[in-house]
């Protein structure tokens, strides 16, 4: 099951190699090194251009594994597991884990709770962590909702301490991939590279341009047409992060239940958004906000984006509207099949 899911996840956003584009720089092509692996329950593709590519890939892979071992909610020895099993006590964590948990709590406040890492007990109850799916009784959801709310997390910035109330637990699944993809491009830069790409499930983070100086071309998958695209995005030194209910879900009695939970209801979010891609240089914000916008639905999402002009987005709704930040006018090209659909620049 996991394998199939991973394949689906890797399709959400794709790097497009337009034939010809890369071929004018043979020296750069010889200097290309790339690697595909499975981590964080998804497919990871790393591409670097420059000297010592294989060595740098080894190092990136090592760092990726370190991050997974720190942030994973399913690895017992992770820092997140230590926080979750602290039974109401402060737990001191590394600076990076502290940063992610505290920024996640801030984004929860910013999104009026649409993004909330304390929704984990409910994610678990629905079986999204294990794949043993289950539709919980509403009484059970109501009792679990009582321990949801990032405002209840306590922080000690000096000791890097995090404290949950008894019964609470957190999951960085909606934010960690964006952070890690961003950090891996930073590592590439520190290693002296100026061109590279990290693809971590629905999270793509670009370092610089392609070696020939052109932006990276990223295709955003159509959420309801398996081999179709919403369009192609030109990306330089930024991240494109997609959330959508079509990536990970189960079906029971004719109902589809997808993996993003609305923390207000404790049930899978049912908004009019089928796919949302956030474009930003801040992978943390991009990952968390793409999840939040999906929960909010298009009306609230547009109001949120109006207040946060540093974030750009491409949203596809269930009534087949394609909503695009006007500042992406030059960088996003809707697929030709959208000629008959409603395209709205906001
Ligand atoms: P993915 O890119 O893997 O689909 P997302 O970034 O969209 O993941 O976040 C979904 C994951 O985050 C879920 O698998 C779950 O672990 C967790 N999650 C689900 N709902 C929420 C929410 N409302 N706020 C924060 N995290 C959530
Ligand atoms: Mg996310």
Strands (DSSP E) found in 171-266? 195-200, 203-207, 216-221, 229-235, 239-243, 249-252, 255-258, 261-262
Q: What CA–CA distance (Å, rounded) separates 181 from 159?
A: 27
Q: What share of the chain is helix, strand, coil (3-state, %, to 5)?
A: 35, 25, 35
- Whether the Cβ atoms of residue 118 and residue 170 lie closer than 8 Å to each other: yes
69 CB-near residues (< 8 Å, 6+ apart): 75, 77, 78
Q: What's the pLDDT at 226?
A: 84
Sheet holding 13-15, edge to edge: 13-15, 216-221, 229-235, 332-334
- The overall longest dimension of the chain from CA atoms, in Å, is 63
Residue 293 near residue 243 (C-beta atoms within 8 A): yes
| Structure letter (DSSP) for residue 222 | P
Calculate how far, in angstroms, residue 259's C-alpha sits from the geometric centre of ligand 1: 7
| Residue 245: per-residue pLDDT | 78
CA 287 to the chain's CA centroid? 4
Q: Which residues contact 205 (CB under 8 A, 6 or more apart)?
A: 178, 181, 182, 184, 185, 197, 198, 238, 239, 283
∠ CA 88-269-296 to the nearest 5 degrees?
95
Task: Determine the Cα angle at 43 with ends 185 and 27, to 5°.
Answer: 50
Residue 239 confidence (pLDDT): 98
Q: Is the CB of 242 under 6 A from ligand 1?
A: no
Residues 6+ apart with CB under 8 A from 32: 47, 48, 49, 53, 211
Q: How large is the angle between the packed helices 53-71 and 176-190, nearest 10 degrees?
A: 150
pLDDT value for 12: 62
For ligand 1, mutation pick of 5, 291, 295 (most atoms within 8 Å of CB) = 291
> How many other C-beta atoms can be found within 10 angstroms of the C-beta atom of residue 140?
13
Residue listed under structure tokens 């990726």: 64
Task: Note the pTM of the prediction, 2 decimals.
Answer: 0.92
Q: Which of 177, 196, 128, 118 is nearest to 150 (CA)?
A: 118
What pLDDT does residue 24 have? 41
289 CB under 6 A from ligand 1?
no
Measured in Å, residue 19 CA sits from the centre of ligand 2 at 31
Tens-of-pLDDT digits for all 346 residues of the chain?
333 333 334 346 666 644 333 334 555 556 999 999 999 989 999 999 999 999 999 999 999 999 999 999 999 999 999 999 999 999 999 999 999 999 999 999 999 999 999 999 999 999 998 889 999 999 999 999 999 999 999 999 999 999 999 999 999 999 999 999 999 999 999 999 999 999 998 899 999 999 999 999 999 999 999 889 999 999 999 999 999 877 788 898 888 898 999 999 999 999 999 999 999 999 999 999 999 999 999 999 999 999 999 999 999 999 999 999 999 999 999 998 887 678 999 9
pLDDT at 342: 87
Q: Residue 314 and residue 268: Cα distance in Å, rounded? A: 22
Tell me the C-alpha distance between 258 and 270, whole Å: 9
Ligand number nearest CA of 104 is 1
- Quick check: helix, strand or coil at residue 326? helix
Q: Whose CA is nearest to atom 15 of ligand 1?
A: 173
Distance 260 CA to ligand 1 centre (A): 5
């Amino acid at each position: 099951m996991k394998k199939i899911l991973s394949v689906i996840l890797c399709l959400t956003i794709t790097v497009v190699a337009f034939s010809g584009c890369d071929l004018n720089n043979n020296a750069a092509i010889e200097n290309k090194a790339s690697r595909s692996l499975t981590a964080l329950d998804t497919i990871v593709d790393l591409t670097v251009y420059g000297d010592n590519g294989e060595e740098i890939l080894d190092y990136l892979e090592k760092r990726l594994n370190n991050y997974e071992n720190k942030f994973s909610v399913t690895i017992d020895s992770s820092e997140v597991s230590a926080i979750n099993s602290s039974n109401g006590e402060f737990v001191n964590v590394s600076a990076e884990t502290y940063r992610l948990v505290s920024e996640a709590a801030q984004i929860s406040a910013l999104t009026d709770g649409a993004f909330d890492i304390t929704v984990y007990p409910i994610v678990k109850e629905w079986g999204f962590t294990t794949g043993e799916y289950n539709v919980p009784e509403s009484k059970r959801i109501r009792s679990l909702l009582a321990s949801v709310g990032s405002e209840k997390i306590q922080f000690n910035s000096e000791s890097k301490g995090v404290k949950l109330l008894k019964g609470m637990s957190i999951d960085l699944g909606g934010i960690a991939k964006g952070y890690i993809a961003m950090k891996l491009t930073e590592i590439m830069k520190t290693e002296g590279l100026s061109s590279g790409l990290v693809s971590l499930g629905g999270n793509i983070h670009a370092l610089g341009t392609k070696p020939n100086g052109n932006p990276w071309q990223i295709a955003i998958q159509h959420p309801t047409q398996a081999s179709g695209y919403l369009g192609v995005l030109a990306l330089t030194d930024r991240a494109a992060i997609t959330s959508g209910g079509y990536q990970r879900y189960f079906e029971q009695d004719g109902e589809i239940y997808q993996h993003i939970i609305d923390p207000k209801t404790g049930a899978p979010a049912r908004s009019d958004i089928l796919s949302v891609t956030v474009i930003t240089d801040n992978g943390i914000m991009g990952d968390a906000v793409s999840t939040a916008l999906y929960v909010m639905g298009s009306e609230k999402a547009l109001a949120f984006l109006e207040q946060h002009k540093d974030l750009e987005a491409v949203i596809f709704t269930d009534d087949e509207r394609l909503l695009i930040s006007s500042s992406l006018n030059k960088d996003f090209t809707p697929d030709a099949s959208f000629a008959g659909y409603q395209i709205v620049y906001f």
